[in-house]
Amino acid sequence: MRLNYYIMVAIFLCISTAGEAQQRHNVDGAFFDRVSYKVAIGSKIGGSAPLPIPKEIRKVKGYSPHYPFFIGAKATHAIDSKWGVSLGLTFEGKGMNTKADVKNYKTSFNANEDPTANAKGYFTGRITTKVQNLYLSIPIQATYQVGERWSLQAGPYIAFALQKRFFGEATDGYLRNIEPTGEKLNITFAEYDFRESVRTIDVGMSLGTNYDFGQRYFALAQFDYGFNNIMKTGFESISFGLHNIFLNVGVGIKI
């Protein structure tokens, strides 16, 4: 229900923003003659991942995207016949479900009752991770018209987390308590929840292309890379940084 609410709000914001911009275009045409408006929707694949893959992750056993969608509106001001600059508003999911075999993987597991009794150390076994984050993103991009149908876009974005979820479980392994050579604790099943440690702000870069397949309709592909670790400074339950890395594919309409 909460996701449906966010989607409806996002659709309303995108349509309202584009509609208001179009009204202003009609009233103040002298200023807005060089501005165009687009709305797009689509799917995405990727995840919150380290680069390069650390040695602790020995084998990825499974992957599936979670919340693989985006919907957004964008206004583009043409500087000349080739170059332009755009400002957008995008509601999007950035999530994944993964399973991996790990060795000496630094982590912590939740205690059933007392959080101060959480188990911490280096785990060897199987890890399942579920990331279910929703963002409102503001991309600022330079645009370049390659030909009659093709255009390129590149620029930074800033995204604000509306929902933060990062949790999972460990099975079929053991934990070295506190240190890599610490007491060996057998782990049949243990859970973890790091949602409180996920950053609210994600900053990164986008690089993409549009292809016009009609007078008003277009297809798009865009690669997004988050510069900052999605976990807060001081978070130590994972020993490597995680970055939002996603490929977006969709369609849109010019308003």
Residue-wise pLDDT tens digits, 7-64: 555 545 555 555 554 555 554 554 467 899 999 999 999 999 998 889 999 999 999 9
pLDDT at 93 over 90: yes
Assign 196 a pLDDT band (cuts: 50, 70, 90).
Answer: very high
Distance CA 46, CA 95 (A): 8
pLDDT at 239: 87
By residue range, what is the domain housing residue 182? 2-254
Give the pLDDT score at 65.
93
Residue 170 tokens, joined = 């460990």
Residue 52 preceded by cis peptide, ω within 30: yes
What's the CA gap between 38 and 74, in Å, rounded? Answer: 5
The number of distinct structural domains making up the chain is 1
pTM of the complete model: 0.85
Enclosing H/E stretch for 99: strand 83-109
